[in-house]
Amino acid sequence: MKRASWLAALLLALVVALGLVACGGDEEESKETATPEAAATTTPQAAVTGTPQAATSTPVVRSGPKEVILATTTSTQDSGLLDVLVPEFEKDSGYKVKVIAVGSGQALAMGQRGDADVLLVHAPGSEKALIDDGSAINRRLVMHNDFIILGPDKDPAGIKGMTSAVDSLKKVFDTGSSFISRGDDSGTDKLEKSLWKKAELDPKGKSWYEESGQGMGATLQIANQRDAYIICDRATYLAQSASLALTLLVEGDPVLLNVYSVMQVNLESFDLVNGPGGEAFADFMVSEKAQQMVGEFVDKKSGKPLFIPDAGKTYEELGMKTPFG
């Protein structure tokens, strides 16, 4: 008797689990068929309400080829740039882009495991590793802006107006002024670590040095609350400057260049990667149209341009002798 009821419970659980997988498949298929309509009418509501109806009536259309997973850094999403570029690409190509905004570290790791189709990142030193091990191909420059060093108005380390990023970090170190690091292995984090390395200093473990482990926007808010120094990309800073009490203290050092590249995940290294889709997005990013949109894109609040288009240039032309890392 006991065993029977257990079996029944187990069976029920199994049936539900199977149903789940089956209905999961349905949803996936219906989404594929629902997307073109949604794209045509550009009403997202239609996509949502359309899903359940479509699930019952549409034939099987396997997904995959029409879907592109873009792994990118938080700054491209937080600044709003992708909100402009992605719909344009979707309209032109018919692909549907899934933007996964994470730190560049995680984005690169996703590329390395074939969990994404195309990468838009800003960590030149680490990007090379993916090219070298064959997981990604065809790296191309897309755009750049720069990193800046922000800090409290009082500027206890006295770095305002300094021209060398490394020297200003030395002063922060010497005065033991509060400093917030991303600490998440993102592109910004890698740059910051490379600057400390150049300064031959190790702030790790110091009481004034803290790691947030979060995205740029969130980390900026922490630094703001703590009156701390921070290295930030200009796009995120401009997008948030209205809600910040921090002041821009150091800028213009060539080592602070922030270069974004696009590369596609190598179809030949992974079974499930959408090679053509990734390539289409990468091509779009360096196309004349997208480059013009990048150049014309301004921050809504400050009205300032956030990125300078760079397609076709080389790292050397941008004044970078050795990419950080």
The residues binding another protein (CB under 8 A) are 2, 5-6, 8-9, 12-13, 16, 20-21, 23-25, 27-28, 31, 38, 44-45, 47-49, 63-64, 67, 69, 74, 77-78, 80, 83, 98-101, 113-115, 214-218, 220-221, 239-240, 242-244, 270, 272-273
DSSP 56-101: HHPPP---STTEEEEEE-HHHHHTTHHHHHHHHHHHHH--EEEEEE
Strand 136-151 and strand 247-250: the pairing is: antiparallel
Nearer to another protein, 98 or 197 (CB): 98
Shortest distance, position 318 Cβ to another protein, whole Å: 28
Shortest distance, position 232 Cβ to another protein, whole Å: 12
Closest CA to 223 of 246, 249, 248: 246
C-alpha pair distances (Å), 187 with each of 10, 162, 232, 325: 48, 23, 11, 10
Shortest distance, position 156 Cβ to another protein, whole Å: 25
Nearer to another protein, 68 or 165 (CB): 68
Nearer to another protein, 16 or 60 (CB): 16
Shortest distance, position 213 Cβ to another protein, whole Å: 13
Give the H or E element holding residue 132: helix 124-132
Give the H or E element holding residue 265: strand 257-265
φ, ψ dihedrals at 164, nearest 5°:
-110, 120
Nearer to another protein, 23 or 308 (CB): 23
* CB 68 within 8 Å of CB 277: yes
Nearer to another protein, 3 or 321 (CB): 3
Nearer to another protein, 101 or 141 (CB): 101
Shortest distance, position 139 Cβ to another protein, whole Å: 21
Shortest distance, position 45 Cβ to another protein, whole Å: 5
